[in-house]
């Protein structure tokens, strides 16, 4: 098979292996947060930050959710990183946003965060803060899901079908799954134009 055929076949395998129950549980938690007047904070780093920005648009426009991504404000993000350090940048942002138990987090990450390996420690700190205040935690992550999968109330782990393609598949399927979320009848409030 060509590389293209192999890569697309891997995507088909992932689609078949996605945990439908985890997806439905995430939808339920997000709908509950919105229905109780909570906000949605979407966290991601790198490609996952770009996905977070796109997802904020979809959750706001399609689902009527008050949603934010800290990475959308580069001035605040870099100021906090410079002054407070990368590890606490999301937790301090959430604290300033007065995160409460009514709110929800949605984490996009390939690794899910791991303090020992120094991978996305900012996600770990944010999740610890979210747990302290009782906010609902959801995620779409790759590999074994790292810290996100360990502490989330519901988490979709993108199956690893080829270890060499964990990052591109995880980031691509974040898009597939969040588009499923915003299209789900429990969340969708407004029709899309196309």
Q: What domains are defined for the chain?
A: 38-183 (3.40.50.10490)
* pTM for the whole structure: 0.96
Per-residue model confidence as pLDDT tens for the chain (194 residues):
999 999 999 999 999 999 999 999 999 999 999 999 999 999 999 999 999 999 999 999 999 999 999 999 999 999 999 999 999 999 999 999 999 999 999 999 999 999 888 889 999 999 999 999 999 999 999 999 899 999 999 999 999 999 999 999 999 999 999 999 999 999 999 999 88
Scanning the chain, the segments in alpha helix (DSSP H) are 3-17, 20-35, 47-61, 74-84, 89-96, 121-133, 146-151, 166-183
């Amino acid at each position: 098979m060509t590389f293209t055929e192999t890569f697309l076949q891997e995507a088909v395998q992932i689609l078949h292996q996605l945990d439908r129950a985890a997806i439905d549980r995430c939808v339920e938690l997000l709908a509950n947060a919105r229905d109780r007047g909570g906000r949605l904070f979407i966290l991601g780093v790198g490609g996952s930050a770009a996905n977070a920005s796109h997802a904020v648009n979809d959750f706001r426009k399609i689902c009527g959710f008050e949603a934010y991504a800290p990475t959308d404000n580069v001035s605040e993000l870099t100021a906090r990183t410079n002054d407070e350090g990368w590890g606490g940048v999301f937790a301090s942002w959430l604290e300033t946003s007065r995160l409460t138990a009514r709110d929800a987090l949605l984490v996009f990450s390939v690794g899910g965060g791991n303090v020992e390996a120094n991978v996305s420690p900012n996600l770990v700190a944010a999740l610890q803060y979210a747990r302290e205040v009782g906010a609902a935690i959801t995620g779409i992550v790759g590999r074994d899901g790292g810290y996100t999968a360990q502490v989330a109330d519901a988490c979709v782990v993108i199956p690893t079908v080829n270890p060499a393609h964990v990052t591109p598949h995880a980031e691509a399927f974040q898009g597939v799954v969040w588009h499923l979320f915003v299209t789900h009848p429990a969340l969708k409030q407004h029709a899309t134009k196309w």
